[in-house]
């Protein structure tokens, strides 16, 4: 999968991170010695670290440029996944007042269960029946390291004596270099607490240093299911739709049925036509994601040019293209024009 991450502005490495709050939100972790540890998140130079403050040992690290979404997940019964829901989902359905009531209820269950549990570490890693658990979910797609052919390996032997090796967990730190990405999400269990305000503030801090938008954005995904090997619909269902949901980006999808369908969708419609078709006008979106070959983006732009508000629309919209055609020449040309290289290649 070629880089599918939405581009984000680079931020100051320390701006927006609250060290004080981060030091008060603890996560549970079992060590290889079966000791339960209290871990905290720290942030420095674009890297989030989950570490033990008593020893300084780093259990996990994440490059914030790889993060596309973060949220808190509640499970009223840890053994039943159907009881799990995210904070944003509950708040959206029941409102802020009910969200606070649910947080208090979960916090009380966590505290009550941990105080009644017995055995070492029960308060940190609860496994009681009917208890409650909260998790911090971080959705990340790091870039894979480049594959090295025989010539590259020989070159490295001459340049550094073969003493240096590439760690499989090493990060490609330059955010302008695109490579094939893979899914590597995190799910950290929060320690029992009645106060979720600090956890919510920590989520905001992570979102800020990751360059995520403060508000939910809405995209229109236009899929040509007939392009190339006809994998557009499958790519949308398995990859693009999943990533948009993880980033909390609202979106609608148009599966084109004929040539010129995308042109028609981009054009202005009166109120009655929009209601009849149950479609939003393009002006209501923040961006358009084209999935297909070279022709799908051309159709989108052709339709937009027929609008009276073309100049303002193209200034507002963000455009993206996911190559699902045979050769994807347009997508490759755009990357070349932007002086962006594909970091994953073979010699």
d(CA 134, CA 75): 6
Residue of 143, 288, 144, 139 whose CA lies nearest to 207: 139
Q: Of the residues 209, 229, 256, which one is the last residue of a structural domain?
A: 209
**Whether residue 262 sits in one domain with residue 177:** no
Backbone angles phi, psi at 294, to 5 degrees: -65, -25
For residue 243, give the nearest of 318, 291, 173, 183 by alpha carbon. 183
CA 138 – CA 209 distance, rounded (Å) = 13
Q: How far apart are CA 203 and CA 209, in angstroms?
A: 10
The verdict on 201 and 227 lying in the same domain is: no
Residue count (the chain) = 347
The reply to whether 191 and 255 lie within a common domain is no
Helices (H), the chain: 19-22, 87-116, 150-160, 197-209, 232-235, 241-246, 261-266, 271-277, 294-305, 310-316, 329-337
With respect to residue 8, please indicate whether it lies within any of the assigned structural domains.
no
d(CA 21, CA 225): 47
Residues 244 and 319 in one domain: yes
What's the structural domain count of the chain?
Answer: 2
In angstroms, rounded to a whole number, what is the distance separating the alpha carbons of residues 205 and 200?
A: 9
The pLDDT score that the predictor gives to residue 233 is 94
Provide the 8-state DSSP code for 237. Answer: I
Q: What is the pLDDT along the chain (347 residues), one digit of tens a residue?
A: 434 344 444 444 456 899 999 999 999 887 665 567 889 999 999 999 999 998 999 999 999 999 999 999 887 665 556 667 765 654 544 555 565 665 566 555 555 544 444 333 333 333 333 457 889 999 999 887 655 555 555 554 554 444 333 344 445 555 555 557 889 999 999 998 767 789 989 999 999 999 997 778 899 999 999 988 888 999 999 999 999 999 999 999 999 999 999 999 999 876 555 544 568 899 999 999 999 988 898 899 999 999 999 999 999 999 988 888 766 666 666 665 555 554 433 22
Structure tokens at 26: 């603890």
pTM listed for this prediction: 0.73
Residue 14 lies in a domain: no
| Within a domain: 154 | yes
- Burial pattern 231-254, b for ≥16 Cβ within 10 A else e, equals ebbebbeeebeebbebbbbebebb
- What was the pLDDT predicted at 246? 94
CA-to-CA distance for 206 and 67, rounded, in angstroms? 9
Pairing of strands 133-140, 287-292: unpaired
For the domain that residue 241 is a member of, what is the CATH number? 3.40.50.10330
For residue 70, the model assigns a pLDDT of 95
pLDDT of residue 343: 40
Instruction: Report the pLDDT value the prediction gives residue 308, as an integer from 0 to 100.
Output: 93
Measured CA to CA, the distance from residue 18 to residue 170 in angstroms comes to 26
Q: Which of 158, 174, 209 is the last residue of a domain?
A: 209
**Two structure tokens written together for 291:** 């999935």
Residue 115, pLDDT score: 47
The partner residues of 50 in beta bridges, in order of sequence, read 41, 60
Residues 179 and 284 in one domain: no
Q: Let me know if residue 246 belongs to a domain.
A: yes
Residue where one domain finishes, among candidates 147, 180, 209 = 209
| Structural domain contains residue 345 | no
Would residue 87 count as lying in a domain?
yes
Q: What pLDDT is stored for residue 322 in this prediction?
A: 87
pLDDT value of residue 15? 65
Rounded to an integer, what distance in angstroms lies between the CA atom of residue 103 and that of residue 306? 50
Residue 4 in any domain: the answer is no
Any idea what DSSP says for residue 282?
G
d(CA 313, CA 324) in angstroms, rounded, equals 25
Whole-angstrom Cα distance, residue 230 to residue 300? Answer: 19
Q: Does 176 reside within a domain?
A: yes
**Domain carrying residue 86:** 19-209
């Amino acid at each position: 999968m070629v880089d599918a991450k939405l581009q984000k502005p680079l931020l100051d490495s320390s701006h927006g991170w609250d060290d004080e709050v981060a030091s008060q939100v603890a996560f549970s972790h079992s060590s290889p010695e079966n000791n339960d540890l209290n871990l905290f998140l720290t942030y420095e130079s674009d890297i989030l670290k989950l570490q033990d403050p008593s020893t300084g040992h780093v259990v996990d690290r994440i490059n914030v440029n790889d993060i596309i979404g973060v949220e808190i997940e509640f499970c009223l019964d840890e053994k039943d996944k159907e009881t799990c829901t995210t904070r944003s989902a509950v708040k959206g359905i029941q409102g802020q007042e009910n969200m606070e009531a649910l947080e208090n209820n979960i916090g009380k269950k966590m505290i009550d269960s941990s105080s009644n549990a017995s055995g070492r570490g029960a308060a940190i890693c609860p496994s009681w029946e009917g208890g409650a658990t909260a998790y911090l979910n971080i959705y990340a797609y790091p870039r894979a390291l480049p594959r090295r052919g025989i010539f590259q390996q020989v070159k490295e032997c001459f340049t550094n004596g073969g003493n240096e090796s590439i760690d499989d967990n090493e990060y490609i730190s330059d955010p302008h270099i695109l490579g094939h990405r893979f899914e590597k999400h995190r799910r950290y269990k929060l320690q029992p607490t009645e106060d979720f305000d600090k956890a919510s503030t920590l989520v905001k801090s992570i979102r800020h240093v990751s360059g995520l938008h403060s508000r939910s954005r809405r995209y229109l995904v236009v899929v040509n299911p007939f392009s190339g090997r006809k994998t557009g619909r499958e790519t949308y269902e398995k990859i693009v739709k999943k990533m948009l949901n993880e980033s909390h980006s609202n979106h609608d999808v148009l599966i084109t049925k004929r040539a010129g369908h995308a042109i028609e969708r981009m054009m202005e419609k009166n109120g009655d036509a929009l209601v009849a078709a149950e479609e939003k006008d393009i002006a209501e979106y923040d961006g358009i994601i084209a999935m297909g070959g070279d022709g799908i983006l051309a159709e989108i732009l052709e339709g937009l040019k027929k609008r009276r508000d073309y100049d303002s629309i193209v200034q507002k919209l963000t455009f993206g293209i996911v190559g699902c055609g045979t050769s994807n020449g347009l997508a490759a040309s755009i990357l070349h024009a932007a002086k962006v290289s594909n970091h994953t290649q073979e010699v």
